[in-house]
């Protein structure tokens, strides 16, 4: 379980996050949704510690990560896996070495064990026979899946995904969403997903928080999102005609 308490963050005097608190539950896919530029990525960066919040703190299973010393921070980080928006694969090495990387530096496993684990993870994300391909030689969707494989290879307790399906076709999106959801349940991981895709919200949003202009305006589950009376959330959810018609038909 991850608890974010009263997170505020400014850049050059411009406040981006206002006192955001949220709880992300273990074994569930927890979504952060909101329009473009509202501070979702900044919130995620504050949570994983790539950015230091001006105020507030983040607890990983009761461990204060934001104000932890280097040792504890490293310890918590080694339990994290993260999928970046663009995949962030190391472009100087091939797919296999990318996925093996966390094992290489963080564990003392034998090569055969590592290879077995890598192949298992690649298989898990539906990628076979791409081991020797370079990141530049595979498609965007494949990069994302390799990114997921790399994020889960070291059995993380926490998984973070920044817009796992932006720029992908609807079918691939749903595959990736479901993959994240399945892995989360299967290994009992605390997963946080940033998204602005309504399909994924309805598909995998076991808990959802809605960020609007740096503030948390709503939280709940995918089932009560349609019934909410927060106007900004309604505007966000029912932005498309199809969604509106769907609501009216209910």
Partner 1 sequence: MKQLGKFVIFIGQLFVRRESFRTYMKLVFDEAIKVGYNSIFIVVIVSVFMGAVTTVQTAYNLISPLIADPVIALVVRDMTLIELAPTITAIVYAGKVGSNLAGELGTMRITEQIDALEVMGINATSYLVLPKIVGSILMFPLLVIIAAFVSIYGGYVTALVTGVISGTDYIIGIQMDFIPFQVIFAMIKAVTFGFIVASISAFKGFYTEGGALEVGKSSTNAVTSSCIAILAADFLLAYLLAPLLTL
User: Where do contacts with ligand ATP occur on this chain (CB under 6 A)?
Assistant: 11, 16, 34, 36-42, 196
Does the protein bind Mg ion through residue 195 (CB under 5 A)?
Answer: no
Q: Choose between 40 and 117: whose C-beta lies nearer to ligand ATP.
A: 40
The single residue among 41, 66, 157, 165 that binds Mg ion, judged by CB under 5 A, is 41
Q: How far apart are CA 151 and CA 80, in angstroms?
A: 8
Could you tell me the smallest distance in angstroms from the CB atom of residue 75 to Mg ion? 27
Residue with Cβ nearer partner 1 (74 or 240): 74
Distances (CA, A) of 97 to 124, 130, 140, 195: 17, 11, 18, 28
> Is residue 165 within the footprint of Mg ion (CB under 5 A)?
no
Q: 42 contacts which partner out of Mg ion, partner 1, ligand ATP, none, CB within 5 to 8 A by kind?
A: ligand ATP
Query: Shortest Cβ distance from residue 12 to ligand ATP (Å)?
Result: 6
User: How do 80-83 and 158-162 pair as beta strands?
Assistant: parallel
By C-beta, is 41 or 207 nearer to ligand ATP? 41
Q: Minimum Å distance from CB 151 to partner 1? A: 9
Q: Write the DSSP assignment of 69-80 as a string of letters.
A: -HHHHHHHHTTE
Residues 59, 5: Cα–Cα separation, whole Å = 8
What are the start-end ranges of the E strands in the chain? 2-11, 14-24, 29-33, 55-60, 63-64, 80-83, 158-162, 190-195, 207-212, 215-220
Chain residues binding Mg ion by CB under 5 A are 41
């Amino acid at each position: 379980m991850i608890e974010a308490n009263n997170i505020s963050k400014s850049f050059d005097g411009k406040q981006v996050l206002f006192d955001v608190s949220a709880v992300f539950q273990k074994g569930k896919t927890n979504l952060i949704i909101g329009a473009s530029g509202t501070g979702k990525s900044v919130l995620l960066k504050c949570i994983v510690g790539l950015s230091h919040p001006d105020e507030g703190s983040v607890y990983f299973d009761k461990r204060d990560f934001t104000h932890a010393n280097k040792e504890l921070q490293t310890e918590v980080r080694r339990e994290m896996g993260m999928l970046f928006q663009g995949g962030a694969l190391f472009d100087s090495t091939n797919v296999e070495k990318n996925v093996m990387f966390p094992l290489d530096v963080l564990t003392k496993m034998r090569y055969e064990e590592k290879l077995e684990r890598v192949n298992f993870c690649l298989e898990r994300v539906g990628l076979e026979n791409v081991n020797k391909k370079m990141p530049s030689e595979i498609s965007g969707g494949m990069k994302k899946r390799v990114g997921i494989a790399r994020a889960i290879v070291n059995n993380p307790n926490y998984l973070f995904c920044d817009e796992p399906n932006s720029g992908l076709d609807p079918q691939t999106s749903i595959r990736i969403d479901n993959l994240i959801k399945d892995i989360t349940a299967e290994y009992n991981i605390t997963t946080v997903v940033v998204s602005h895709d309504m399909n994924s919200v309805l598909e995998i949003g076991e808990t959802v928080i809605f960020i609007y202009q740096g503030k948390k305006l709503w939280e709940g589950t995918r089932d009560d999102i349609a019934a909410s009376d927060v106007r900004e959330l309604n505007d966000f959810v029912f932005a498309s005609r199809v969604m509106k018609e769907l609501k009216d038909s209910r």
